[in-house]
């Protein structure tokens, strides 16, 4: 722990940005790395859940997902089991070209296997919340997406969102 603190202090002293907060949803932060993760998933996810098909904006996806996780809370119904998460790891691994390619892809994002499991688990919570709460059958994709848009907008408006200004290049 002390080593982590010393490393963070050195980076801060050097003025190097490691990650930055792009939004806060209630008490949950959305980091720039979360947005990069969403952008990367948009490129490789073989069959994204309809929740993710609603927008092509990675920042919107990451921020909405944080809000949905606030709404889902710790309700067991929305928590994925370890087998489901493991299956998603395999699907993602296949999508990027196998286990070795997955490790390279993750390294490019600054994520290890443990971090991948947590990122996928968080994603699956949002998907489970949407699947449970959208009152339209998923077979009618257009109707489901429209209903999901309405539901997400109505539910998220109850939450406090704070977005930070982008850093100029």
pLDDT digit string (tens) for 74-102? 899 999 999 999 999 999 999 999 999 99
Which two three-digit tokens encode residue 82? Answer: 């370890």
Q: Which helix (H) or strand (E) holds 17?
A: none
Mean pLDDT of 13-20: 68
Mean pLDDT of 59-88: 92
Averaged confidence pLDDT in the chain: 86
Which two three-digit tokens encode residue 39? Answer: 């952008």
pTM: 0.81
| H helices present in 15-169, as ranges | 32-44, 50-53, 58-72, 82-96, 99-109, 113-133, 141-156
Domains plus CATH for the chain? Answer: 17-160 (1.10.4030)
Confidence at residue 56, expressed as pLDDT on a 0 to 100 scale: 82
């Amino acid at each position: 722990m002390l080593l982590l603190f010393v490393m963070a202090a050195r980076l801060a002293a050097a003025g190097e940005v490691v990650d930055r907060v792009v939004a806060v949803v209630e008490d949950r932060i959305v980091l720039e790395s979360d947005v990069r993760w969403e952008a990367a998933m948009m490129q490789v996810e073989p069959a994204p859940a309809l929740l993710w098909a609603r927008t092509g904006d990675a920042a919107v996806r990451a921020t909405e997902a944080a809000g949905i996780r606030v709404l889902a809370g710790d309700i067991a119904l929305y928590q994925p089991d370890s087998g489901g998460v493991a299956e998603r790891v395999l699907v993602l691994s296949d999508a990027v070209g196998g286990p070795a390619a997955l490790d390279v892809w993750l390294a490019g994002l600054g994520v290890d296997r443990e971090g991948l499991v947590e990122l996928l688990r968080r994603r699956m919570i949002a998907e489970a919340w949407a699947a449970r709460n959208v009152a339209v059958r998923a077979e009618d994709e257009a109707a489901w997406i429209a209903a999901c848009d309405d539901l997400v907008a109505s539910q998220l408006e109850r939450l406090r969102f704070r977005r930070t200004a982008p850093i100029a290049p």
